[in-house]
Amino acid sequence: MGGCVPSRERRASNSRVLLLLGLDGSGATTILYQMVLGRRLETIPTLGFNHEVIRYDGLEFELWDIGGLDKMRPLWRQYSREANGIIFVVDSADRSRFPKAAEELKKFFGDGGRRSFVLPDNPLLVFANKQDVNGAASVPEIEEVLDLSSLPVRSFKVVPCCGRTGASLGIGLDWMTAELQN
């Protein structure tokens, strides 16, 4: 399945591939279309993937939103071979799913003796989504529960956001752009 993503050699020098991942219901697809269309779009659980291209601050981002349902998560790693960066979306208002989000993130990065396809020099952006909900987790809480400092990434950043309104998505994209231009 990873053959769907163009190889690094065939992409333009200003083009980058970003994977957009998250458990079902985290809001990853809502965030994708907020970035593409600049407005909220009613979504359903992603069965497969969504692929969109956006231009942002001099770069072209190929965004691959891979479904977050149980049966889709094993495919995340297959799409990571050509990724330049990873965006992981967590529902910061649903603490009951934090352990599962942490587990799936560790699996993605090769925890448990499995080799990772993710290159260790990739930056990881975590969108702490649904900050508009009372009681949403803070950035330090998300960093701790996901154990981000243990992941084999060049750098990471947690950005509190609201996918429904688009609030703070630009902050995350600014950070990712700067990381990918370094």
Query: Is 29 annotated as ligand-binding?
Result: yes
Query: Is 68 annotated as ligand-binding?
Result: yes
Query: Is 28 annotated as ligand-binding?
Result: yes
User: Measured between alpha carbons, how far is 17 from 99 in angstroms, rounded to an integer?
Assistant: 27
Residue type, 106: K
Cβ contacts of residue 20 below 8 Å, gap of 6+? 28, 31, 32, 63, 64, 65, 66, 87, 89
Query: Is 23 annotated as ligand-binding?
Result: yes
Task: Give the three-class secondary structure for 28.
Answer: helix
Query: Is 102 annotated as ligand-binding?
Result: no
Task: Give the three-class secondary structure for 18.
Answer: strand
Query: Is 26 annotated as ligand-binding?
Result: yes
Query: Is 25 annotated as ligand-binding?
Result: yes
State residue 21 phi and psi, 5-degree precision. -125, 160
Binding residues: 22-29, 46, 68, 129-132
Binding residues for GTP: 22-29, 68, 129-132
Binding residues for Mg(2+): 29, 46
